[in-house]
Amino acid sequence: MTENRSKTGLKIVVLGLLLGVVLYGGFAFSMKSTDQAQFCGNCHTMYEYVRTHQMSGHAKQACNECHIPASGVERYVFKAKSGAHDSYVTAFGTVPDVIHAGLDTKEVVNDNCKRCHDITVLNVAMDVKPYCTDCHRSVPHMNKLPISKRSAANE
Amino acid sequence: MSRKNCLLTAALCALAALFFGCAEIPEPKAPSYKTDLPETTVTNKPFEKPFPLQYKTYLRNDEDTIMTEYKGSVPFRKNDDVNQLPKGYKHAQPYLKNLWMGYPFSYEYNETRGHTYALTDVLEIDRINRYSDKAGLPSTCYNCKTPKMVEWVGKYGDDFWAMEFHGFRTELDLKDHSIGCANCHDPKTMDLRITSVPLNDYLAKEGKDPKTLSRNEMRSLVCAQCHVEYYFTDPKHGPAAKPVFPWTRGFDFEEMYEYYKDFGSVTAPGMEGWFADWTHAVSKTPMLKAQHPEYEMFIDGTHGAAGVSCADCHMSYTRLDGKKKISNHHWTSPLKSPEGIAAACRTCHTDKSPEYLKDRVVTTQRRVFDQLILAQEVSVKAHEAIRQASEWQGEKAADFDALMAQARERCRKGQWLWDMVSAENSVGFHNPAKALEALANSRRYSQEAVDYAMQATMFGIGPTLAGDIKQIVPPILEHSRKLQQSAEHLQSHKWLSYLPKFPEADLVWNLNKRVEGTPEAKEGH
């Protein structure tokens, strides 16, 4: 009787652990894959940005290496918020003619510049311009390229 | 597999596709269509049903009330800085009628408006003689006004150009045949195409096949079908009145000036065989007329040299249905509204505000416009100096004729250079350095013309040329074909007295209709 009960307990624990592993794995996998250009490029409004990303020196980095905070709870909160906003606008809202990054995204992206390139900027002052991309101007999706090199109708 | 399993698999596949991104991002390629429209379509209306969104933006070209600082869509008289809109405007060029004396442009020349008015405006303009059965200008004048050209050139070939302009009026519907879809699109696939004979001729000369040109090049070349400097072939040099773009030496204005030292039949000393559009009625100088050289101005400017196309700024993408991008087919000044600036400029200049961008444009325009007015004043002085010198009764220099020939050559060149800036529709913005260089050189050549004329008269005309040119030669505000029928009008200004009086006549043509009661012309086209 006692043996049976402990066996059942063990089963529950093992199953629970397994479920946890599967859930965590699933969560980690979906978090990771929804960071990628392949996922972001599912919406035609993002074609221009995924395309210029793929043409660029950052092609091997995921979109969200730049576009959401690097770690912590804020990473998940920011992602959920942006995802919800973008989904809503795509499904029910009006996409603007020209898509511009909001202030919060600009701050997040700039923090991520400094996160990866910290050694490069270690010995220099960073107070001349607000954003790294104020000098590194083609990094924001090659926005000085002629339109036809990065965009097309129906996107 | 059961139906349920099937659905489940499909759903899982779709989910997987979403996560792994089965969808490849396509190359940035313009969409191609398959319409039911015949290739010979030359009217606009049939395009509305298959392309309602683009058509809706096309109809926005009907807007003709909004002005910007220097441009806009009110067709005011470009020489009139006296009257208020819609007749005149604060930034007008008061000497235009003087400088084009003896040429149809002295009758009427207005600010441009949308493509939807192109046909109305060409049929209404006083440059073409509507008081006679002879327009005085060839059918080539339709070349950039209507997709009907495709049909006419197919039907008449090179005979078309010199045919009677009036003969085609009644074939035209003012709106349905105005510049439209078929000018730039293959009606079957909607692919960009070049229908312009002179542009295709130029590309052929350069060994370029329009079918293999890049999408980026085409996004400017469709505009370069019309927004260019051109001339009509002198019968000695090919099919009479066929339009040609004078580009084989280059797009620089001095290179184009050199080009015109050929292809003509001028007999004036020192200019034998040169091309001339007309002889200035007052100074008797064989002149060149510049026409809207947008393409030549922009192509080596800051934007053009960087590969930015006309369509990038003038046909910015818009999401009319809130979702998919279409090219905005409302061709106008991007400066009309902050929204217009945002759409045209902020796709690239993402970090700049519309106010800042507008200020940068107007800063260039103000400088160019101020210098343009000064260059025109020296140009008027050059014509007046040559007029006075040619009538000079006092002691003349030994090489009088040679000096006068040089004076006229400089006068011609000085006017060519300011006209290339004046006729260009960006007031310098499409190429600030090129515009200011042309105006600086224009003043130099016009001043040299004055100097040569002075020398020719042993400086005898010096006293009558001293002082404010506006007092010596007042700007001519009013002039038209109707006014030239009046002896009183021709006596109202020294320069007008050099014009022949026209016989009194009434209008024969009103747009695409013959005025009732006027006798039918015997010869059709």
Q: Do A97 and B317 touch (CB under 8 A)?
A: yes
- By the 8 A CB rule, do B292 and B227 touch? yes
- By the 8 A CB rule, do B294 and B426 touch? yes
> ∠ at Cα B28 (B27, B29), nearest 5°?
95
Rounded-to-integer distance, Cα B492 and Cα B429, Å: 38
- Min Cα separation B327/chain A (Å): 7
Average pLDDT, chain B: 95
**What is the per-residue pLDDT for B332?**
98
- A97 contact residues in B (CB cutoff 8 A): 316-319, 325, 342-343
Q: Name the DSSP class of B41.
A: -
Report the phi/psi class of residue A72: left, alpha or beta, with left for phi > 0 and alpha for psi in -120 to 50. Answer: left
Q: Do A154 and B31 touch (CB under 8 A)?
A: yes
**What is the per-residue pLDDT for B431?**
98
pLDDT at B353 exceeding the cut of 50 = yes
Query: Residue B287 — φ and ψ, nearest 5°?
Result: -100, 160
**One-letter amino acid of B295:** Y
- A44 contact residues in B (CB cutoff 8 A): 324
For residue A91, the chain B residue with the least C-alpha distance is: B323
Average pLDDT, chain A: 94
pLDDT at B525 exceeding the cut of 60 = no
The per-residue b/e assignment along B388-425, b for 16 or more CB within 10 angstroms, e otherwise, is: bbbebeeebbeebeebbbbbbbbbbbbbbbbbbbbbbb
- A93 contact residues in B (CB cutoff 8 A): 322
Strand (E) positions, B212-371? 231-232, 243-244, 278-279, 286-287, 317-318, 326-327
For residue B317, the chain A residue with the least C-alpha distance is: A97
pLDDT at B16 exceeding the cut of 70 = no
B216 at interface of A, judged by CB pairs closer than 8 A: yes
Q: How confident is the model at residue B6 (pLDDT cuts 50, 70, 90)?
A: low
pLDDT at B20 exceeding the cut of 90 = no
**What is the per-residue pLDDT for B47?**
98
Residues 6+ apart with CB under 8 A from B41: B47, B181, B182, B187
Identify the sign of the CA torsion B463, B469, B472, B473: positive
**What is the per-residue pLDDT for A120?**
96
Q: How confident is the model at residue B517 (pLDDT cuts 50, 70, 90)?
A: confident
Angle formed by the axes of helices A103-116 and A72-91, to 10°?
140
Residues 6+ apart with CB under 8 A from B495: B98, B101, B281, B282, B473, B476
Rounded-to-integer distance, Cα A112 and Cα A115, Å: 5
Point out the least confidently predicted range of A113-122, B18-27, B33-42, B230-239. Answer: B18-27
Q: Do A50 and B25 touch (CB under 8 A)?
A: yes
Q: Do B311 and A33 touch (CB under 8 A)?
A: no
pTM: 0.94
Q: How confident is the model at residue A80 (pLDDT cuts 50, 70, 90)?
A: very high
Q: What percent of chain B has pLDDT over 70?
A: 95
Q: What percent of chain B has pLDDT over 90?
A: 92
**Digit-coded pLDDT (tens) for B329-340:** 999 999 999 999
**Digit-coded pLDDT (tens) for B219-273:** 999 999 999 999 999 999 999 999 999 999 999 999 999 999 999 999 999 999 9
Mean pLDDT of B445-460: 98
B343 at interface of A, judged by CB pairs closer than 8 A: yes
pLDDT at B91 exceeding the cut of 70 = yes
- A36 contact residues in B (CB cutoff 8 A): 21
- Min Cα separation B44/chain A (Å): 21
For residue A32, the chain B residue with the least C-alpha distance is: B19
Size of interface A-B (CB pairs under 8 A): 107
**Digit-coded pLDDT (tens) for B143-158:** 999 999 999 999 999 9
Query: A-contacting residues of B 409-438, CB under 8 Å?
Result: none
Identify the sign of the CA torsion A138, A142, A143, A149: positive
**What is the per-residue pLDDT for B14?**
61
Residues 6+ apart with CB under 8 A from B281: B101, B102, B495, B498, B499
Q: Do B30 and A153 touch (CB under 8 A)?
A: yes
- B351 contact residues in A (CB cutoff 8 A): 134
**One-letter amino acid of B9:** T
Residue (of B307, B305, B241) closest to B277 by Cα position: B241
Mean pLDDT of B402-418: 98
**What is the per-residue pLDDT for B25?**
83
**What is the per-residue pLDDT for B359?**
98
Residues 6+ apart with CB under 8 A from B234: B240, B263, B264, B265, B275
Mean pLDDT of B101-130: 98
Point out the least confidently predicted range of B1-10, B128-137, B365-374. Answer: B1-10
Out of A54, A146, A152, the one facing B307 most closely (by C-beta) is A146
Q: Do A38 and B309 touch (CB under 8 A)?
A: no
**What is the per-residue pLDDT for B524?**
47
pLDDT at A111 exceeding the cut of 80 = yes
Which residue is associated with the tokens 């499409």?
B430
Distance from chain centroid for Cα B230: 9
- Min Cα separation A33/chain B (Å): 6
Q: Does domain A40-149 have CATH number 3.30.450.20?
A: no
**What is the per-residue pLDDT for A77?**
97
Q: Do A97 and B316 touch (CB under 8 A)?
A: yes
Mean pLDDT of B368-374: 98
- Joined tokens for residue B80: 């009139």
- B18 contact residues in A (CB cutoff 8 A): 39, 42
| Most distant pair of Cα atoms in chain B: their distance | 112
**Digit-coded pLDDT (tens) for A5-19:** 788 999 999 999 999
- Joined tokens for residue B266: 């001028």
**Digit-coded pLDDT (tens) for B492-515:** 999 999 999 999 999 999 999 999
Q: How confident is the model at residue B210 (pLDDT cuts 50, 70, 90)?
A: confident
B305 at interface of A, judged by CB pairs closer than 8 A: no
ipTM of the complex in this document: 0.91
Where are the domains positioned within chain A? 1-33, 40-149
A61 at interface of B, judged by CB pairs closer than 8 A: no
Element containing residue A149 per DSSP (H, E):
none
Rounded-to-integer distance, Cα A135 and Cα A126, Å: 12
Rounded-to-integer distance, Cα B18 and Cα B22, Å: 7
Out of A41, A146, A151, the one facing B23 most closely (by C-beta) is A41
**What is the per-residue pLDDT for B18?**
60
Q: How confident is the model at residue B2 (pLDDT cuts 50, 70, 90)?
A: low
Rounded-to-integer distance, Cα A73 and Cα A77, Å: 6
Q: Do B324 and A155 touch (CB under 8 A)?
A: yes
- A54 contact residues in B (CB cutoff 8 A): 25
Rounded-to-integer distance, Cα B472 and Cα B479, Å: 19
**What is the per-residue pLDDT for B24?**
73
Out of A42, A97, A144, the one facing B343 most closely (by C-beta) is A97
B325 at interface of A, judged by CB pairs closer than 8 A: yes
The per-residue b/e assignment along A61-85, b for 16 or more CB within 10 angstroms, e otherwise, is: bbbbbbbbbeeeeebeebbeebeee
pLDDT at A144 exceeding the cut of 80 = yes
Which residue is associated with the tokens 């009732």?
B516
